[in-house]
Structure 1
């Protein structure tokens, strides 16, 4: 994890702000000029990503064309994969020595908190065994059930009954459609590790504009 990451982004245009409370004496009409970003401006996350990307490319990482958050390092028989999400970084590879070199490199540039072997990343649990690496979203789904008020529901064999249809025009609209939309979005993400729910979720996603109680 990279600490206070947005503060590392440089500003290439003129941005001003009112002096914050407690600042030294200022004259009426005076403003502060940004040299680096603070948390809040729209450009902050973009500039931070550009700064981190530049540093990774300088280390000879290659950025994926289709997945810009993925960086690959290949040299001789060494292979590393580095995944970036905002200020979270997941690094894996076949060389502990080069992995440590990358960590030391990032430590020199930014404030980094190394949490060791990854066990949980973006709602996905990572479990290691002698057979390999297993991923699941058990905690993510339990939280989803709790937020949806379905923690005590009984399990069923399939996500949808056979020949299930959602064409009841008389069903009233939901009072809180945003809750339905959030639930569908979370189920779509859950489908990465449980593809058996993907079809049912896609059926429901057709009605996010005007969900009804039937849905």
Structure 2
């Protein structure tokens, strides 16, 4: 450890350093203060803060739209106005210590690739690191992330000897669902046992890893389909959890034919019928579609055609 640049003590203290007791960056108020300062600068430039999602800023100019998305201290800018984006970057460089990384290729662990078909998002390197960490680079892949005949419960099997490793790996898998909706359900199931993981739970996690080895570069493709229609699809099981008999809701939404949001999560209450479980799923997808519609409307991308939703409702007699 060395003394920080431009602050080198002289004399008898020239070889000493300070011991850090508490970092200011780790205080709860730090993110709020930083975002408040950044928001003031963005509003000073002329950007409008989105009320539906406060991390999104937008501006309509004569040449087109400017969109800015901020995640902590990482910023992504896209627009139709090249001159406007140059002015915005220059303004931010004068207000903050920023570094322009050029055209987006890598953002928060997500790899961005452009082709004639569209823009693809994947986490290939992230998956390969997971395979190496778990020693599964030479393992045999499987066709599904979870065995359909396996029902995990909280009190069967021996306790796993390294709960910390289980939690870290499940946390990484949760982050991987950003571009891998195909593992969302399996990850949501194993994440329910992070408090006291057992060997069957660990085996289920390793199966997800083996499934990822089948195609590490799988991801999402976004392309123009000639419309901006919002569609939602949802379904739910009934009392699928053997531990508390709660149902699981799963849904996904599409904008312009491209998958944008998805979720797999247990419902908060026990449904007394399969119809009740399905209607709760409908409520979730309705809220999500409404949120997307309002977001698009605020960004100036009003959806003219009515949104559609598809679900299966069993008849109860």
What's the CA shift for 1:207? 0.8
C-alpha distance 183-41 of structure 1, shift in aligned 2 (>3 A):
closer
Q: Which residue of 2 aligns with 1:60?
A: 46
Alignment of 1:119-138 (within 5 A): 119-138=105-124
C-alpha distance 66-205 of structure 1, shift in aligned 2 (>3 A):
farther
What's the CA shift for 1:214? 1.1
Residues in 1 aligned to 2:135 and 2:83: alpha-carbon distance in whole angstroms: 47
Among 31, 39, 51, the residue aligned to 2:37:
51
What's the CA shift for 1:66? 3.7
Among 139, 142, 153, the residue aligned to 2:125:
139
Residues in 1 aligned to 2:190 and 2:26: alpha-carbon distance in whole angstroms: 35
Query: What TM-score do the two structures reach when normalised by structure 2?
Result: 0.53
Among 18, 22, 40, the residue aligned to 2:9:
22
Are 1:182 and 2:158 matched, yes or no?
no
What's the CA shift for 1:39? 5.1
C-alpha distance 168-210 of structure 1, shift in aligned 2 (>3 A):
closer
- Is contact 2:63-2:81 (8 Å) kept? no
Structure 1 gap segments, 5+ residues each: 1-19, 24-37
What's the CA shift for 1:80? 1.8
Residues in 2 aligned to 1:158 and 1:196: alpha-carbon distance in whole angstroms: 9
Number of matched pairs: 183
Residues in 2 aligned to 1:200 and 1:41: alpha-carbon distance in whole angstroms: 33
Alignment of 1:168-207 (within 5 A): 169-207=155-193
C-alpha distance 84-168 of structure 1, shift in aligned 2 (>3 A):
closer
Q: Which residue of 2 aligns with 1:94?
A: 80
Are 1:110 and 2:110 matched, yes or no?
no
Structure 1 window deviating more from structure 2 (146-155 vs 94-103): it is: 146-155
**Secondary structure class of the residue paired with 1:210:** coil
Structure 1 window deviating more from structure 2 (59-68 vs 183-192): it is: 59-68
**Secondary structure class of the residue paired with 1:206:** helix
Residues in 1 aligned to 2:117 and 2:26: alpha-carbon distance in whole angstroms: 46
What's the CA shift for 1:170? 4.1
Structure 1 window deviating more from structure 2 (178-187 vs 89-98): it is: 178-187
**Secondary structure class of the residue paired with 2:57:** strand
**Secondary structure class of the residue paired with 1:214:** helix
Q: Which has the higher helix share?
A: 2
Query: What TM-score do the two structures reach when normalised by structure 1?
Result: 0.76
Residues in 2 aligned to 1:65 and 1:178: alpha-carbon distance in whole angstroms: 38
- Is contact 1:168-1:214 (8 Å) kept? no
Residues in 2 aligned to 1:152 and 1:83: alpha-carbon distance in whole angstroms: 39
**Secondary structure class of the residue paired with 2:112:** strand
Structure 1 window deviating more from structure 2 (160-169 vs 109-118): it is: 160-169
Residues in 1 aligned to 2:185 and 2:67: alpha-carbon distance in whole angstroms: 31
RMSD across aligned positions (CA): 2.3
Structure 2 gap segments, 5+ residues each: 1-6, 11-22, 202-317
**Secondary structure class of the residue paired with 1:178:** helix
